[in-house]
Structure 1
């Protein structure tokens, strides 16, 4: 090949492509990392939210390490290490229950069930509410009318009464508790998500997406869902605290799984043992404090997340 031909080839081919340029996936990952970093930077400014998050991390670590710290046989009635209803001492810092079991061990072990049930029930509730809210806001017409009337019916009905009915009709298990809480606490999420969906679909880029041939699934999954996801995340953290309180209430009423230790179950056992009338405060106070602290921590986290994702709320720090 002559020198003239080589020069012509080099001049027409243009400059070589940069081999080190990041691809679309790398750019997406970089944007997600930057978004998470911005979120954490703003979240740290909310002292109450940081306190709630630290409290939750502590409780989660305690729950995860329960098999190592207290053992899996802490709820055994036949091998109880102490005497029934012993007051707090060096051997039993929180005393014993009516069977002689360590209340500290039961409290630590019960945190696993209370946190798990609260999280699963909140996720189920938010999934139902988000699905109904997005579809009702997108399709509108008779479908939205029917869904919103069903939502209004659930809103006016007492949530606890519906949960008690479901927990009574179905078998007594953790799955029943999760189902009873999840299917009775979704209306508020559905209302909020539908309102946000209507606001998103009124924007011009939704009309452009429809004009370019975007179908229902494309509009809801690619445009509506990313815009309502911050609201869904904030709502999840707020519902978890309500779900934990609902689980404790159902267990206290004797509708939980009797073979599983939970904070609400401990309160129910204390009531049956007559701790209120006999003054055995160590049987009642620790589970109640645990429920209140965890519910408060989730509420503080939810408020902080809501303030970060929607600064116009003006939530105090």
Structure 2
């Protein structure tokens, strides 16, 4: 038989259940977070850029048409310079570079978000377990983390992408399983700080097990750090995906910004001086990475004001 939590009367005399009070506190925390975030001009610029790029990616079929990636139905000539019909020129097949740039936003954002989620998930689990348990558990986990940390991330990603099928999921997996050590070390340090607090000792004294302490006490306290780290990892993941695609290790059947750079190099755009084929995807990669970095710095500053990040 379960018992319902007793209602609580707040300072204004209004009776609310503990669940309603928890929801109210969450809304207040979000409102306070947004008020602090708005004071960071760089974070606002980064957020505006991400919203714009996300809208472009979502509405790509409406903006440029679903058949704009087709090689057989290309509307222009090979490597035409920018004009009124093609604002960013055409590629070697006669396709609009602007249309390809819009479609590439979908792949780059998808790879960045999913790879960052995988990276942060692995790093968070390893960091919490290594910080909570002591003895050989922590030693083994941290030695594995150190091994991944000293190995060149790009080399490991290239090795995984080479031995596996060339697909977008391979790129996501290659990035996710090679970039988690930094997150793991940050989360472990935060876990050690959290578990030194008195309420953790009280939880143990009341019979709280390892799973209860890690899930109910440690994880909520490290989530702000994980959130800030996620935004920074996304920009790194997008750059890594572009590098793998540029090296010819991406999925050749999809359009991505890194793949556009690879196609431009193979088409001789570098030697021919066809800047309209090279510059747009490179600038798009830089802008998205910068936007995520600005958002990450602003979030980090809001969650930890002692950092003193410039506004």
Q: Who is 1:150 aligned against?
A: 144
How many angstroms does 1:187 deviate by?
Answer: 0.2
Between the aligned partners of 1:72 and 1:141, the Cα distance in structure 2 is 57
How many angstroms does 1:72 deviate by?
Answer: 1.6
Normalised TM-score (structure 1): 0.94
Secondary structure of the equivalent of 2:15? coil
Q: Who is 2:23 aligned against?
A: 29
Q: Which has the larger radius of gyration?
A: 1
Q: Who is 1:136 aligned against?
A: 130
Q: Who is 2:102 aligned against?
A: 108
* Partner deviation per Cα, 1:199-233 (whole Å, 9 max, x = no partner): 00011110010000000111001110011000000
Q: Who is 2:3 aligned against?
A: none
* Partner deviation per Cα, 1:160-200 (whole Å, 9 max, x = no partner): 00000000000000000000000000000000000000000
Give me the CA root mean square deviation. 1.2
* Partner deviation per Cα, 1:98-140 (whole Å, 9 max, x = no partner): 0000000000011000001000000000000000000010012
Normalised TM-score (structure 2): 0.95
1:125 aligns with 2:119: yes
* Partner deviation per Cα, 1:236-256 (whole Å, 9 max, x = no partner): 000000000000000000000
How many angstroms does 1:73 deviate by?
Answer: 1.3
* Partner deviation per Cα, 1:47-91 (whole Å, 9 max, x = no partner): 000000001000001110101111121110000000010000000
Between the aligned partners of 1:260 and 1:94, the Cα distance in structure 2 is 20
Between the aligned partners of 1:72 and 1:243, the Cα distance in structure 2 is 27
Between the aligned partners of 1:206 and 1:22, the Cα distance in structure 2 is 28
Q: How many residues align?
A: 301
Secondary structure of the equivalent of 1:78? coil
* Partner deviation per Cα, 1:273-313 (whole Å, 9 max, x = no partner): 00000000000000000000000000000000000001111
How many angstroms does 1:24 deviate by?
Answer: 1.7
Structure 2 residue ranges without an equivalent (≥5): 1-7
How many angstroms does 1:26 deviate by?
Answer: 1.2
Between the aligned partners of 1:95 and 1:113, the Cα distance in structure 2 is 21
Structure 1 residue ranges without an equivalent (≥5): 1-16
1:77 aligns with 2:71: yes
Q: Who is 2:240 aligned against?
A: 246
How many angstroms does 1:20 deviate by?
Answer: 6.5
Q: Who is 1:160 aligned against?
A: 154
Q: Who is 1:271 aligned against?
A: 265
How many angstroms does 1:21 deviate by?
Answer: 2.1
1:190 aligns with 2:180: no
Between the aligned partners of 1:263 and 1:183, the Cα distance in structure 2 is 22
Between the aligned partners of 2:147 and 2:68, the Cα distance in structure 1 is 43
Between the aligned partners of 1:118 and 1:132, the Cα distance in structure 2 is 21
Between the aligned partners of 1:253 and 1:73, the Cα distance in structure 2 is 26
